[in-house]
Every structure is written in structure tokens, then in C-alpha cells.
Structure 1
Amino acid sequence: MKKLPFLLLFFLVLATTTLRAQSTAVYPTNWWVGMKMNKLQLLLRNLSQNIGQQNVSIQYPGVTVVKTHRFENPHYLAVNVEISPSAPPGQVPITLKGKGKTQTLKWPLRQQREGKGTTYAQGVTSSDFINLLITDRFSNGNPANDRIPGLRDQSLNRDSMYLRHGGDFQGITNHLDYFQELGVTALWLLPVQINDRPNRTEHGYAITDHYRIDPRLGGEEAYKKLSESLHQRGMKLVMDAVYNHVGLQHFLEMDPPASDWMHRWPTYTQTTYKEQTLFDPYAAPSDRKKMSDGWFDDGMPDINHHNPFMANYIIQNLVWYVQEFGIDGIRIDTYTYSDLEFANRCNQALMEEYPKLTLFGETRVFGTPNQAYFNQNVMNLPYKSNLPGSVDFQLLYHGIIPALTQPFGWTDGVNKMYNTLTNDFLNQDATRNVLLLDNHDEPRFFSVVGENVEKQKMGYKWLLTCRGVPQMYYGSEVLLKGFTNPDGLVRSDFPGGWPSDKKNAFTGQGLTTDEKAVQDLVKKLGQFRKTSSALKTGKLMHYVPNQGLYVYFRYDADQTIMCVMNTDTKPRTLNFGHYAERTQGFSQAQDILEAKSLSLSSSPTIPAMQMWVLELKK
């Protein structure tokens, strides 16, 4: 009797595998009428039939077969189709004939969802406040999907940083009120497509099927429910896209149509992680090739973007994904490792289909010119990027971290932040860059600043008042900590996301005084920012730091916000007259976070390692 569940599981997996092997899959799995992208490459796949040797035809009004392509691997057939503007929604019959056999597939052609640019594909801008989540680590709303029969990873153990913990879309949907209390307007989830691999499936970056949402997170319907719930609240959904690689168990790696769909090397070759080789005038071509064509990880094959069929597969999937799930913005993983001309093609296809959709890339690079190289910039270079913005690691590494952890000096401490911001001139629009204190690959900011609560508060005050799009990382508002040695230590569970949790950040139960204080600060400043025109879209003016005192203003015609950072170890006197360009005409400064008002004719003292956020009043 004890063996029966295992046998049942075995036969279920066998039956599922057999069924999939006998059926023909079509990618994209469906499309829509009236799309600008109306010339598609349909990739057909069947493991048990040599469909590559079959003839294909479509008899459907407005849908025309342009040409077909056969591959080395007979399991695949590429069919180029064109969909006219007059094509009606319906089930498009794709007929395959070969060796006396005929099969007809039904390929859905649907009506587009309503509200393009208004209720979805709206863009994520400096008016938003993003919260980054790892779905598996946030909240378990449906324990029934914790394990899914047939998948390679059957782990479930919250005591292990690398096993699955059970968080899902329902857990996020259950707590949308909490995000709105924080002032959050957009949720960015790590990739949610299935990672059907033996281990390390919690992060989502080793995708094994681009057209399947991980059922352990709730699957397609729960993801759509989350998207709809966000949009009903006036919130937004950010997709984490991976242009650069797939998972080792992806069917296009395990059973590729041809040998050149991924980059191949005589022996395993990893990327150099040196983006400098892409623009270095002295770079060796072999180093440049390793940077772009080397594998990011031994479990993540590097996509060959020069293969036109693979390139089409990825580009079409991205457009499909936005339309299918109502995406508003896209963060692009490992952007610098992709072929950059291909990346431009991807970006252009998305922005042409969805003009308001915003994109920002992960560019963990060395220096502001390096970062600007991958953005829309003002530099006269042979390569012209069309990427609107990046995750602004420069203002993390060379901004807020040294400001709060280094002594003040000519080029040290908060002067690094000042110097880094002065290089915004390299970008066409630096407000499209996404600010952060920490994320799933970075140490928790609370640990970086030595678990100093006041410095953590200063970090959030800066995050929510500086130029750009602010992005917080789940749990840092209640002082989650950890260094990335290894990365699992910064991917712990959100307190209160599981019924057995003794500490609950949603209700406040079990939170310490400090944890509650930082959470309350984020809530108050996050709510203020939602209605602050100066912080959302206003200009920035800053002054040369003096003895650790750094002052900057966010302002427009309707509002002026004065931000005062004392990064010194001593109290400093604030003379409002030193900032006359922005303070002239005002008489009072109202502290946004505390019930106090300062006269601009006074010279108040700001304590060491404190930050004031002041709204100037006439």
C-alpha cells in the first residue's frame, strides 16, 4: 500500500509525457486580430511524428501561409503566416498532410483585450513606486499547488534557502491592500514562466517553456487574476523578461530544431561578465565574443540571437506575453549579455505594438558611462541603443551606499552620490532609470549599513525623493537582512506570508519597534509621493555637498520639496539662505514625516546621520 502513491504518480507522469509526445504544439500558442505584428513565424513541434516532412495548409479568411521551413530535426516545422486586418477571431485550422495521414490543428485567433495603453501596457514611470517580489517567497495563498506531479523539482522546505517554499500568485493577490498602504503602484515579479528543472527553481530565470506559467505559482489563470486585480485598483504589473538565455531543460535545448539555436563551444565557456569589451577600442575580439556568446551559467544555455528562427521565437513570445497577461512594463534580465542589435529589435517590436509600454534593463556595470552606453544616450557612438532606461546600479554602488557608509571626502562619502548624479547628462532621460536600495541579487540594504536603523530610514527617504522610478525589495521595509554569500540569504520569506509565521508584517504582530518604525516611514512617504507632483515628475536641483551635508530639491510650478541629508558624524547647521535659488519666496518648511515646521529665517541643526524631507510653504 505504501508504494501505491508512487506508482500512481509514475503512471500519471508517463501518461502526461506520452500525450504531449503524440500531440502537435504550436508556438505562439495563439494570437490576436488587429495586431501590428501580423506576420508571424509559427513553430510546430511533435516528438512522435516527423512533421518537418509534412505539407501544411490553412483555409481561413484573412490568414495566409507565406512559406514553410524545414529543419535538421524533423520534429519541427516553421510556418510563416500573414494575418490581414480583416481576419475574424476564431479557430484557425492548420492542416498537416504526409504519408497518407492528415491532421488538423485548431489555432486560436482572438480578439485583443480592451484598454491598450490605459488599463494595460500603460508604462511604469517616475510617477510609480515599484515593489519587487519573489513569488515563491512572499505568501502561500494556495497550498494545493505547492507540489505539481510530473515536474522535476518536488521539493518543499522553508528551512532551505534553495528549495521551494510555496509562495504563489494567490498569496500576492490576497495582500494587495498591503502594497497600497505602502504607496506601491506596481509589482515586479521575478520570471513566472515554468522552470522545470531538478533544483533551483525558486528564482525563475531558467525558463523551460516560454508559453507556460509555473503551475506551482498558480498557473495562467491565477496570474491573469492577479493582473486583473491590480488593474482594477489602478496598479500595474511588471514582467521580468529574459532575452539572453533559457534553462538547460528547455525543449529548444534538449531537442533543438537545429544545432545553432544556442551558442555552442568545444567545452563549457562562461561569459567574461566584462561589458567593457563591447565598447573598448582595444578589446580583443575573442573577449568580446566570450562576453556576448558565453553562457551566463552552466544551467542556462546562451541564446543565439543571430539564428533568425530563434530570434523570432523570443520576440513573438514577448509581444504575446504582454497581450496575454496585460503587462504594463518590462524589466530585462542580464541585458548586457544579449546581442545588442537583437535587443534593439526586441525593444522596437514591443514599443511599436505598445507605445506606452516602458522597458528598463538590468545593467550591472562599472561606471556611469558604461551604464549609459546601454540606454538611449547622447553619446556619438556606432551602437545606438533604444533602451529607455536601466536599473540604476550606479546610484546604488556609487551613490547611496558610500553616502551612508564612507567618511566624507573630496571624492568619498556623499560626494560620490553628487558626482554620480552629475553624469545624468549622458542619458537622454535619466528619470527613466529605476532606483533601488537592494534586490534579489544584492545584499539587503539593512545589512550593508551595519543594521543601523537611522541609515535604513535615510535610504528610504532618498529612494522616494530622488529622480527616477523608485523600486523597493519585499521585506526590506521590515528590516529583513542578509548578504549575498550565497544569494539565497537575501531571498528569505516575507514574515506573515505563511499561517505558521510568528511575525506578521501585514498585521504588525510580532514586529519590533524598529521594524514597525521603518515600515510606517515607507507607508507615510509612499502615500505622500502618490500625490506629490514635485517628487513624481518635478525637476531636480542639488548643491555641492559641504562637510557631509547634501541638499537637493525636487520642484515644479506647484510644489517644492527640500531634501537635507546630513551624512556626517556631527550635527550640522542648516542655512536656508545658501539655497536661495529654490528657497526664495518661501517662509516655512513643513516636515513631511514629523509634525514640525521650520522658519526659513532660522538656522536649525540637523543631527548626525539624519535626513529631512521638507515641503516649502509661502
Structure 2
Amino acid sequence: MPAWIEHAVWWQVFPLGFVGAEPEAAPGAPIAHRLSHLHAWLDYAVELGISGLALGPIFAASTHGYDTTDHFRIDPRLGDDADFDSLVEAARARGLRILLDGVFNHVGRAHPAFQEVLQRGPQADRASWFRLSWPRGTAPGTEPDYACFEGHRQLVTLNHDEPEVADHVSSVMNHWLARGADGWRLDAAYAVPRPFWANVLPRVRAAHPDAFIVGEVIHGDYASIVRDTGMDAVTQYELWKAIWSALNDRNLFELAHALERHNSYLAAFVPLTFVGNHDVTRIASRLRDERHLPHALAILFTCGGTPSIYAGDEQAFRGLKEERVGGDDAIRPSFPPTPGSLAPYGWSTYRLHQSLIALRRRHPWLLRTRPRKIHLTNEQLVLAMADGHQRVLLALNLADEPAVLPAPGAHLIEIGEGDLGAGGEGAEQVSLRPHGWAILSG
């Protein structure tokens, strides 16, 4: 893992939604220079405490960006190469890194390589790029059956056994790293055979050894995926699910169990952690009790991992993901021209994020910390995070009544609210109000 990731906190942006781009690309439409819309938000991100922008798809595509048609071209709905260069320069001026979203499991049906297959049949120069099944008596213009991503016929799966596909992906990754990107999120990395990544990523690292590579992995043996592929990290969906589920059910045993598994991953690599992203219901909408939003954020920023904040979550944006056409629209909204146009009610959540990120800056060792359970009931939890002589405690109360929880060695409440004092035998305790929380140090 590159050294600079030690202090990384990502702000994830879905550009096509953020800038209000059309939902479908119109062939021949003029280039719309919308990437500059992000410039007005860079200082806002820096003031939040962010160190990098994790961008969603920015390459030419037909609709939502995950149906790529040209990996070497900026989506005309966003701009062109000059707009990308300008964004890189503006980010660099503020010390911000840039992570790109690479869709390399599949391409859109409109990709020229697949269109050539539809026009020329099995004789197409790049027919071997895809997993095709031709009917007998095939003639040019006959459409084959083909592998697609999770049943979506618009997303044509690449043949990852084909050397030319590996060459293409290596070239794309190196091209944009050379233009100023700092790393890649590998979309649907779980669907790609591990040997493919083990072939491609060393080529990328040979040219760009400081690049950060994180794979989108929803389930499976995270540690073995990292080991077999050569990725730096994968997305920690297990912890994401346990955080909101445990808070909703007031069952902190579920969270404690997930943290045990999380600790085992930290022994092998540092996962990308989050409570929201462009593919899931907003955390402020997911939680049944809005009083538990700070609890979710406190867990995210005190547990080991590289934290990522989905743009808008820091303002408590609401949005429900639905399994239908257009079901992502609510969680991928357009943003106003400047932060000054945001509604006033979200700024308290923004300030809470600032405080928690500042805590992370004061205790950078939290990146690899493995929480240790001090106290656990359905509705109360105390975790200890330590690194040598440095120590942080997280105390949570989900109950409708106040709670007095053990806080051994604590001398200061860094964030949150509570009363710190000594118990009957002199051991430190923290008193939390109903649905309260605190982060303590000592």
C-alpha cells in the first residue's frame, strides 16, 4: 500500500449525477464542459478534512457511466481531456488526490469492439474480447448470445482470458495515472477472475508504484482476494451492513461479531470503509432512528480502515435506492453551484464529520487499529483502540434510558457528550444520556 494512503480520507463523488448530466448520451451532441462544477466544491472538501476525491465513472458511456464505450475519452457530458487536466491541477493545488473508477469487467453494448462483432460476426478483429455463442449458419449481422453482467444485456462481459483484454486494461490504467490520477477503484472486481488482476496489476505498478488500487468486493474471502490479485484493498461491505443493521435492531452483538471479522482482515490489509456510497440507500435514510447517525459515523472513524464519505452524506442527505429503472436517481442527485446554496439543516452533520476527521488526524494509527471489546449488551458497547501508549475508547448507548459504562483509563471526552468520573472502586466510568455516545482518550 502506498505510504500516502496512511492519512487518506476520501470524498466519493458520482460525477454524472453531481453535475446534472443528461441520463443518456446523445450521439453527436456537443461537449458539455461540466467537470468544472466540481472546482467550486474542492475547498468545501478540504475544509471537511478530505485528502482525496474518489470519482465515479468519467469515461464515455451511453447512460449511467458503467456502460463504457471508450476508456480513453472523457464522457462528453462531463467535458474533455482539458477539463480533466484542469480538475487534476485544481485538486493538486489543494493537496487532494484523485481516485478513478475503472469499469473493466464489462463494456456497454455501444462499445466499438462489440459493435464490430454485431456487424462482422465471428470475423470481427476483437471478437475474442467477449464470451460469445454463435448460432449455426452465422452470417454478418447475426447477433450472438453473450455473457453479460448480472443479467444486464446492456453490459457485455469481457473475456478476461484474452491477452488483448489484459493489454487494453493495463494501457487504460497507465494512461490515466500518467495524466495525474493517483489510483483506481476497480468496479465489480469480484466478478473478474483473480488471475486477470494478478496479470494486469504488476504492469500498472511497474509504471506507477505509488498508485492505490482498491477493488469493489461485496462478499467472499476478502483477505484471499487481496492476496491473490495484488490489490491494496477491497470495499468493506460486511462492516457497512453490520453498522446500520446493528443500530436499527439495537443489537450491538451483530456489530461486535462483524468487528471481529474486520480485525482479521486488518491483519492482512487495510479495507476501504464506508457507511454510504453511490450504490446503496443513504445512511440518513437507512437508519430508523436519526439519533443514531452520529453512532454510525463514530464507528466508521474510530475503527481501522481507510474511510470514504459519499458526497452529501456529510450533510445528512436522504435518498432511497430502489431496484427499478432509474432507481439510483435519488442517491445520485445533482449538487447546487456552490456549497453556499445547501440547505441549512445539514451543516451540523458536516461539523460532526469535521470533528471526527480531525480525531483521525490526531490519531493516524487508527488506520490499522483493531478494536477490543470492553463492554457489550444489546444496546450498549464500549470499544478500546490502542497503539502503544495511545488509547481511544468508543462508548455507545442505543437505549431510551441513560447508561453508565466502563471507561478504563479514560481522562478526556474528545467528541460526543457524557460525564466522565470514577466508579465505586475508583475505575473510570462514563455516563451517557439516552441514545448518547462519546469518544474518549486517556
Asked if TM exceeds 0.5, the reply is yes
Aligned-pair distance for 1:539?
5.1
Separation (CA, whole Å) in 2 of partners of 1:236 and 1:603? 41
Is 2:12 the partner of 1:132?
A: yes
Is 2:191 the partner of 1:337?
A: yes
Separation (CA, whole Å) in 1 of partners of 2:131 and 2:182? 31
8 Å contact from structure 1 (residues 122, 329) kept in 2: no
Is 2:201 the partner of 1:347?
A: yes
Aligned to 1:43: none
CA shift digits 1:399-439 (9 cap, x unpaired) = 201221113xxxxx221121122124653745521111111
Deviating more after overlay: 525-534 vs 475-484: 525-534
Separation (CA, whole Å) in 2 of partners of 1:509 and 1:318? 35
CA shift digits 1:107-152 (9 cap, x unpaired) = xxxxxxxxxxxxxx96663521111101123247xxxxx68xx942
Separation (CA, whole Å) in 1 of partners of 2:35 and 2:384? 39
Is 2:405 the partner of 1:405?
A: no
Separation (CA, whole Å) in 2 of partners of 1:420 and 1:562? 18
Residue pairs, 1:444-593, within 5 angstroms: 444-450=282-288, 452-485=289-322, 486-494=327-335, 497-498=336-337, 506-507=339-340, 510-512=343-345, 515-538=346-369, 540-543=371-374, 545-557=376-388, 559-577=390-408, 583=409, 588-593=411-416
CA shift digits 1:46-103 (9 cap, x unpaired) = xxxxxxxxxxxxxxxxxxxxxxxxxxxxxxxxxxxxxxxxxxxxxxxxxxxxxxxxxx
Aligned to 1:598: 420
Aligned residue for 2:107, secondary structure, equals coil
Aligned residue for 1:507, secondary structure, equals helix
Aligned to 2:160: 305
Aligned-pair distance for 1:332?
0.7
Separation (CA, whole Å) in 1 of partners of 2:42 and 2:262? 34
Is 2:253 the partner of 1:415?
A: yes
8 Å contact from structure 2 (residues 60, 74) kept in 1: yes
Is 2:107 the partner of 1:246?
A: yes
Is 2:132 the partner of 1:264?
A: yes
Separation (CA, whole Å) in 1 of partners of 2:353 and 2:28? 37
Aligned residue for 1:528, secondary structure, equals helix
The alpha-carbon distance between structure 1 residues 330 and 558, as it changes in their structure 2 partners (threshold 3 A), is: farther
8 Å contact from structure 1 (residues 539, 554) kept in 2: yes
Aligned residue for 2:108, secondary structure, equals coil
The alpha-carbon distance between structure 1 residues 262 and 564, as it changes in their structure 2 partners (threshold 3 A), is: same
Paired residues in the alignment total 415
Aligned-pair distance for 1:449?
0.5
Residue pairs, 1:361-380, within 5 angstroms: 361-365=215-219, 370-376=221-227
Residue identity matched to 1:475: G
The alpha-carbon distance between structure 1 residues 558 and 180, as it changes in their structure 2 partners (threshold 3 A), is: farther
Aligned residue for 2:5, secondary structure, equals coil
The alpha-carbon distance between structure 1 residues 418 and 352, as it changes in their structure 2 partners (threshold 3 A), is: farther
Unaligned runs of 5+ in 1: 1-120, 141-145, 157-165, 268-289, 377-383, 408-412, 499-503, 578-582
Aligned to 1:610: 436
Aligned to 1:317: 172
Aligned-pair distance for 1:301?
0.8
Separation (CA, whole Å) in 1 of partners of 2:249 and 2:50? 30
Aligned pair partner of 1:212 in 73, 83, 86: 73
Alignment root-mean-square deviation, CA: 2.9
Unaligned runs of 5+ in 2: 117-123, 136-144
8 Å contact from structure 2 (residues 413, 438) kept in 1: no
Residue identity matched to 1:460: L
TM-score (norm 2): 0.85
Aligned to 2:270: 432
Aligned residue for 2:304, secondary structure, equals coil
TM-score (norm 1): 0.62
Aligned residue for 2:201, secondary structure, equals helix
Higher helix share: 2
The alpha-carbon distance between structure 1 residues 521 and 434, as it changes in their structure 2 partners (threshold 3 A), is: same
Aligned-pair distance for 1:570?
3.2
Separation (CA, whole Å) in 1 of partners of 2:246 and 2:35? 37
Aligned to 1:152: 27
Separation (CA, whole Å) in 2 of partners of 1:253 and 1:123? 40
Separation (CA, whole Å) in 2 of partners of 1:478 and 1:575? 32
Aligned residue for 2:7, secondary structure, equals coil
Separation (CA, whole Å) in 1 of partners of 2:190 and 2:133? 20
Separation (CA, whole Å) in 2 of partners of 1:518 and 1:569? 22
Query: Percent identity over the alignment?
Result: 21
Separation (CA, whole Å) in 1 of partners of 2:383 and 2:268? 16
Moved over 6 A (4+): none
The alpha-carbon distance between structure 1 residues 551 and 266, as it changes in their structure 2 partners (threshold 3 A), is: farther
The alpha-carbon distance between structure 1 residues 598 and 131, as it changes in their structure 2 partners (threshold 3 A), is: same
Residue identity matched to 1:194: A
Aligned residue for 1:613, secondary structure, equals strand
Aligned to 1:42: none
Residue pairs, 1:94-133, within 5 angstroms: 125-133=5-13
Separation (CA, whole Å) in 2 of partners of 1:574 and 1:177? 39
Aligned to 1:97: none
The alpha-carbon distance between structure 1 residues 463 and 167, as it changes in their structure 2 partners (threshold 3 A), is: farther
8 Å contact from structure 1 (residues 133, 190) kept in 2: yes
The alpha-carbon distance between structure 1 residues 576 and 309, as it changes in their structure 2 partners (threshold 3 A), is: closer
Aligned residue for 1:301, secondary structure, equals strand
Separation (CA, whole Å) in 2 of partners of 1:573 and 1:454? 19
8 Å contact from structure 1 (residues 181, 527) kept in 2: no
Aligned-pair distance for 1:481?
1.4
CA shift digits 1:307-336 (9 cap, x unpaired) = 212221122221122112x22221110011
Aligned-pair distance for 1:265?
3.6
Aligned residue for 1:387, secondary structure, equals coil
